[in-house]
Amino acid sequence: MSFQNPVFIPGPTNIPEAIRKAVDMPTIDHRSPLFGQMLHPARENVRKVLKSDTAEIFFFPSTGTGGWETALTNTLSPGDKVLAARNGMFSHRWIDMCQRHGLNVEVVPAAWGEGIPADRFEEILSADKGHEIKVVLATHNETATGVRSDIAAVRRAIDAAKHPAMLFVDGVSSIGSMDFRMDEWGVDIAVTGSQKGFMLPAGLAIVGFSEKAKKAGETATLPRTFFDIRDMEKSYAANGYPYTPAVGLLNGLKLSTDMLLAEGLDNVFARHHRIAEGVRQAVHGWGLSLCAASPDLYSDTVSAIRTPQGFNATDIVARAAKEYGIAFGTGLGEVAGKVFRIGHLGSMTDVMALSGIAAAEMVMADLGLPVRLGSGVAAAQEYYRHGAPAKQAAA
């Protein structure tokens, strides 16, 4: 692996130099006012990135998975019913976590490559006259399949059923890269981590709680200690933490969110859309197709690309690493060996994307796939030349 090449895994993402420097800092006393000067602006910025006016933002030394656990254990009790669709590895894992916590999950199976079936949710919620379902779980962007689900449609389904269930959204691979509207979509808990759209190393679970979600915690009985938001909230009010915070990461998060807001969220989303569309043009140029079943589902942060029957897509990832020192994502779970993934989120530019497309093309040619050198690169070049004006990521 070369440290000069960008990575094209869908997290952890490339870290801009300025953010690396902000993370690498001398030890400070986290009980001094200096800590609050990192913590509170970072919370304020994250709230803006989530497009919420009122959400309470919490940071735990953890990852997105810890964010899932924070959401569940602070709001639910053993045996509580939750509704979730399984359409990829990440929704599958969140369901698995619910089950291991003794929750009763109504799983709606969906093909890997499809989005969340909001109409099915509406039927199930409408039939739940006793309001036993406490929470609807939704994975905004299925990183395994490159599928973005319509969270506004999930909210409409809950409202159409006149159901009081809360809506928890996994935005680990969307938040900070694709539009996310916590308040408008009525999201009660938003979950993400530091190492994807926020361009940081792994190490922080980042969660936003609505007032309703916080209130649910007053009666919830699932065990929680490390991830108890009540301890966090109390400590934040005193400028501190219930235990030792990941100070460098929080300092980095303050900077990375400053950078996102300075670029402008709409520009950030447009940049991701443009880069992603160039990758999709390349895939078309190769004569291959995406795992995502239809264009309305295409993710702007990761593309899962199907390879021909009988070909092991994982070979692409292995050869890319070995021969060219470049990282792509493998297929996970049901699509293992059937797809490889190009992550294009976080600190990414058109030019970086072209290097990934060119490298993938070499690897596929090496492995005997009928991909003509230059076919994907040219398709992406044409798009990037004529597409929306380039607004490049801050170096």
Ligand X SMILES: *Cc1c(COP(=O)(O)O)cnc(C)c1O
Residues making contact with ligand X (CB under 6 A): 11, 63-65, 90, 139, 141, 143, 170, 172-173, 193, 202
Q: Tell me the closest approach of the beta carbon of residue 223 to ligand X, in angstroms.
A: 20
Q: Tell me the closest approach of the beta carbon of residue 162 to ligand X, in angstroms.
A: 29
Q: Which is nearer to ligand X, 64 or 285 (CB)?
A: 64
Scored b (16 or more CB within 10 A) or e, 9-24 reads bbbbbbbbebbeebbe
d(Cα 385, Cα 288) in Å, to the nearest integer? 22
Whose CB is nearest to ligand X? 64
d(Cα 308, Cα 314) in Å, to the nearest integer? 12
Q: Tell me the closest approach of the beta carbon of residue 220 to ligand X, in angstroms.
A: 22
Beta 166-170 vs 189-193: how paired, if at all?
parallel
Q: Tell me the closest approach of the beta carbon of residue 363 to ligand X, in angstroms.
A: 23
Helix (H, G, I), strand (E, B) or coil at 221: coil
Q: Tell me the closest approach of the beta carbon of residue 134 to ligand X, in angstroms.
A: 21
d(Cα 9, Cα 344) in Å, to the nearest integer? 8
Residue with tokens 């950030």: 268
**384 residue type, one letter:** Y
Contact predicate 232/217, CB 8 Å: no
Q: Which is nearer to ligand X, 11 or 217 (CB)?
A: 11
Q: Which is nearer to ligand X, 198 or 324 (CB)?
A: 198
Kind and range of the H or E run holding 193: strand 189-193
Bond prior to 12 in cis (omega within 30° of 0): yes
Q: Which is nearer to ligand X, 63 or 70 (CB)?
A: 63
d(Cα 185, Cα 50) in Å, to the nearest integer? 11
Q: Tell me the closest approach of the beta carbon of residue 170 to ligand X, in angstroms.
A: 5
Q: Which is nearer to ligand X, 62 or 281 (CB)?
A: 62
Q: Which is nearer to ligand X, 176 or 193 (CB)?
A: 193
Measured torsion, CA atoms of residues 310, 315, 317, 321, in degrees rounded to the nearest 10: -170
Give the burial class of 386: count Cβ atoms within 10 A of its Cβ; 0-12 exposed, 13-18 middle, 19 or more buried: exposed
Q: Tell me the closest approach of the beta carbon of residue 340 to ligand X, in angstroms.
A: 16
Q: Tell me the closest approach of the beta carbon of residue 175 to ligand X, in angstroms.
A: 10
Angle at which helices 151-160 and 118-127 pack, to 10 degrees?
20
Q: Which is nearer to ligand X, 143 or 303 (CB)?
A: 143
Q: Which is nearer to ligand X, 281 or 301 (CB)?
A: 301
Q: Which is nearer to ligand X, 80 or 170 (CB)?
A: 170
Helix (H, G, I), strand (E, B) or coil at 121: helix
Kind and range of the H or E run holding 208: strand 204-209
Q: Tell me the closest approach of the beta carbon of residue 185 to ligand X, in angstroms.
A: 16
Residue 329 neighbours by CB distance under 10 Å: 22
Contact predicate 189/168, CB 8 Å: yes
Helix (H, G, I), strand (E, B) or coil at 181: coil
